[in-house]
Structure 1
Amino acid sequence: MILIEDTVISDDIKEKEFVCNLSKCKGACCVEGDLGAPLEDVELPILKEAYPLIKKYLDPRGIAAIEEQGEYVMDEDDEYSTPTIDGRECAYAVYDKTGTLKCGIEDAYNDGVIDFKKPISCHLYPIRITKYEHYHALNYDQWSICSDACTLGEELKVPVYKFLKDPLIRAYGEDWYKQLEDEIEGE
């Protein structure tokens, strides 16, 4: 376990290797699971404001789901997530011509239409954050749908924390990430 500021980071984040392999998984994380993508409270007004700009990037079924359910939904644990299409794929996900799910929010961001890349929970995956009163716990979420990402990560020798450098900096800042690197690489 690694302790940095108010975060507790599991050893798996330094020890496991991971590189998304979209050509193999086809974006399964956007469709598998019980709910849509977990959302932070600060992301709710951002999605509400950006939705009119994102809409042109979305599939008609995703638009229908959002217009029926809202830009976000609250689950039974009083936490927010993205709406889903018929309880399956995220309403913001779109299939490309190869049948791979991509993020319509990220497409709008990449085109410079909005300045919000995508929900931090998506950007950080396979790290999941559990927030407690005085600290955050960062854990590696090992899921069978990502077995190809684990294989590719092992082939390329890329640990989770290096693969997720940009989203970790987005979530916790450059100084925090430097401390993480120093802690791991100084061992």
Structure 2
Amino acid sequence: MNHSVSTSDRNLYINFYKYINFYAFKLTGNYSYAEDLTHDAFTSYFANKSKVSENPAAIKSFLYSSVRNKIINEHKRTKVNDRYWQKTGFNEQDSLELDRVLIYTELLAEVERLVNNLPAMCRKVIKLSFFEGLSNSEIKDNLNISINTVKTHKKRGLAYLQKNLNPEYYLIFVAIINQELKLF
């Protein structure tokens, strides 16, 4: 593939660039975007050169039309996207919430996997405490064990989670525990 640029193409670019770029800037108000549009217009012209008249006015018209059409197409795409987001009711704040839910879901899956590796009584205490939100006294009554046994199993379970849980997940897990929220 030959990437060399002919002298006539180089001169055309030099002679028309500032006009096309100014036109794009006036339409968009954004210099960087205008430059992108201008480069896209010239790229389109060079790719379709054989289909465009060699008349300088026709070439300039092609370049202006390329810029205008690209802006119109992007505007249409933006409007379609806006309509979609309006219909779905989704917004950027929802995106943050989706990220939080994803992290929370991953955390729960990892915590549950680790909790299922605990000895039976420790597992029961952890699940009753953190998954069902029962108090130490309620767990004691439910499992018919002493309050100190409940505390010991919670301490062992949390130590195991701290040792085996991804550090970022553990911090989130502790934050949830401190807010006294049930995990499920």
Same fold, TM-score > 0.5, yes or no: no
Q: The TM-score by the shorter chain falls in which range?
A: under 0.3
Q: Which has the higher strand share?
A: 1
Answer 1 or 2: higher relative contact order, Cα 8 Å, separation at least 6. 1
Q: Which has the higher helix share?
A: 2
In the superposition, the TM-score normalised over structure 2's length comes to 0.23
In the superposition, the TM-score normalised over structure 1's length comes to 0.23
